[in-house]
Amino acid sequence: MGFLEGMIIWKRNKERSCLFSYHSAKIENEVMKEQEEHKKLLMLHNQERCSRLLLNKIAVKTARLSIEVIKEIHGILMVGIMTEEEILALGGPGQFRGMDCEALLSGTDAGDIEKELRELFDEMTEISVCSEGDILKEAAYLHVKIIDIFPFAYGNEIVARNLLNYYLMMNDHPPVVIFWDDRERYFKTLADYCNSGNIESLVSFLKWQQTKVKSI
């Protein structure tokens, strides 16, 4: 890849990441409805910081999926969002939850979180190296598996959205913006996967979101 082509891709990713930051933070604020107004603004700030971090990793060619990266993403996104009581009871920013979540329909046992994440990241690395398949479908799979494992007490969905775009950019694909206006359809695709294991509705949704970005 030449310098000019690289700069064009970086500019495209940066523009989409800014748009992604706004909508992803707004979706997360919808999920966490009881947040104070200043925390909603803080979530947007945190998401912008996280997007810059991931863009920099892509730019300097250090991007990879790892336990350290997912903790770093969560650590940035959740700064100032959780209360001290929640941090003490459930684990704070950048920390895996320390207890099983009985209210969840799914979710890995707390003691197996790191093991399952390592297996997932190894699987994604192998797919990326060996496959010439549908990168968007692979990224969608990573997204739903992160939510399925549910490594953190809070913020798993926004972490999953960031990893989805991180994986896309790692494979020279533009990031996807999941628009706040389409959040209900987005949530439905996640429920479809949870109920049936069918990922195709999420893949179709992400392709639709890509066409919306191109039309802006």
Q: What is the pTM of this model?
A: 0.86
Confidence tier at 19 by pLDDT (50, 70, 90): confident
CA 52 to mean position of chain CA atoms: 14
Residue pair 56/130 in contact by the 8 Å Cβ criterion: no
- Our count of domains for the chain comes to 1
Encode pLDDT of 38-54 as tens digits. Answer: 778 888 889 999 998 99
Asked if residue 105 has pLDDT above 50, the reply is no
Encode pLDDT of 47-104 as tens digits. Answer: 999 998 998 898 888 889 999 999 999 999 999 988 888 888 888 999 999 876 654 4
Q: What is the CATH number of the domain that holds 135?
A: 1.10.3290.10
Mean pLDDT of the chain: 84
Q: Which of 13-27, 159-173, 200-214 is predicted least confidently?
A: 13-27
Q: Whole domain around residue 130: which residue ranges?
A: 3-214
> What secondary structure, in 3-state letters, does 150-182 show?
CCCCCCHHHHHHHHHHHHHHHCCCCCCCCCHHH
Return the percentage of the chain with pLDDT > 90, whole number: 49
The CA distance from 150 to 67, in Å, is: 14
State both tokens at 95. Answer: 């920390």
Q: Which of 16-25, 73-82, 88-97, 187-196 is predicted least confidently?
A: 16-25
**182-188 own/partner pairs: CB under 8 Å, 24+ apart:** 182/209, 183/27, 183/30, 186/27
Q: Which residue has the higher pLDDT, 4 or 126?
A: 126
Q: What is the pLDDT of residue 90?
A: 82
Confidence tier at 216 by pLDDT (50, 70, 90): low
Phi, psi dihedral angles at 211 (to 5 degrees)? -65, -30
Please report, in angstroms and rounded to a whole number, the separation of the first and last CA atoms in the chain: 27
